[in-house]
Structure 1
């Protein structure tokens, strides 16, 4: 895959991701929910932490929520530069197309969520009991690098109650799939899934590479023999 094709894929994901987030932010109040189907809801939530709202301060008690938020945003920025380098390097080395697709998806998703974390606090007012305003005169709901990631896709495919014998959660209700996420999260998850499922193809072992090289040599030898007949 060329850099141009990878760029187009990243651009497409970013456009879909940001358009959906901006629409939700400017048309929904926080916690608003619309049932599209019984198994699919549009549910507006904001995430100021990592996956499932987890915060660094949840694990390191002496760090404040504000410091944890800034640390997470800066880590995401550093990580996306690393992923971008991995992507360009893979393209230049003519790595497997499967690997390049996967890394491009992860890069696009990470960048999409970074845009929220870095800029949304500045360009939007808060969404608590009101629809957010874009570029409010009195300023946004947070400073640069302190924005929340907008999530809206919820798939409560199945709801039930844990059996009584299950430790800690027995008798409590649950929903699958409980987390609310966005297009960027889907891109990241898809990219990681590709890397896991096609692990041998995207990260070939030296023995696999030698087998492929031997096969290529044999094929060329057979072709040469046919030309000499």
Structure 2
């Protein structure tokens, strides 16, 4: 697989991810939702301080650490993709790695620059792009999430310990295109790992033989 094809794939994911994020940020107030296919499929605007599913570290230093971690991971990912292309890994594995890289880069862009180029989004104010002053400093931007699919809303059975009777929604997480790209890449690698790595192992054995 050629580097140009992977570059185009990454570029498409980044453009789609950033285009939708910018549209949501400049057209929707925080916690505002647009129903796409009833209440089960929505654009629901939230901002994420941390990682996927809202996992975050404490305070400003925690956010700085997370952004720097993302930056290092993206730099490593770029070198790794070049390496597996040169070593002729399975094309599907290279595509998955590129999707993971593109997703990480997409969310990194938010963390690096969104605090500088956007106003603060609030529950009754839609942010403008390129204001005189952004809502925070470099490296402290918040990731924009918007896809929400609450397919099932029910309660846990009362006999379950600790969670019995509590409300339960599937799928309750809100995510973006970058998150989806990462998940697709990771899940495909997990499900088809034997197929993806068997070919490379056989190629290495043939080269050594």
Whether TM-score is above 0.5 comes out as yes
Residue number among 123, 127, 146 corresponding to 2:140 in the alignment: 146
Counterpart of 1:144 in 2: which secondary structure? coil
Residue-pair matches, total: 205
Equivalent-residue separation in structure 1 for 2:87 and 2:105 (angstroms) = 23
Gaps spanning 5+ residues in structure 2: where?
A: none
List structure 1 runs of 4+ shifted beyond 4 angstroms.
none
After superposition, residues 170-209 of structure 1 pair within 5 angstroms as 170-204=164-198, 209=202
What is the TM-score of this pair, normalised by structure 2? 0.93
| Aligned-residue RMSD, C-alpha | 1.8
- Residue-by-residue CA offset, 1:54-108 (whole Å, 9 max, x unaligned): 1123xxxxxxx10000000000000011111111100011111011010000000
Equivalent-residue separation in structure 2 for 1:186 and 1:143 (angstroms) = 27
After superposition, residues 49-128 of structure 1 pair within 5 angstroms as 49-57=50-58, 65-128=59-122
Match of 2:128 in 1: 133
What is the TM-score of this pair, normalised by structure 1? 0.85
Gaps spanning 5+ residues in structure 1: where?
A: 58-64, 218-229
Does the aligned pair in 1 maintain the 2:52–2:175 contact within 8 Å? no
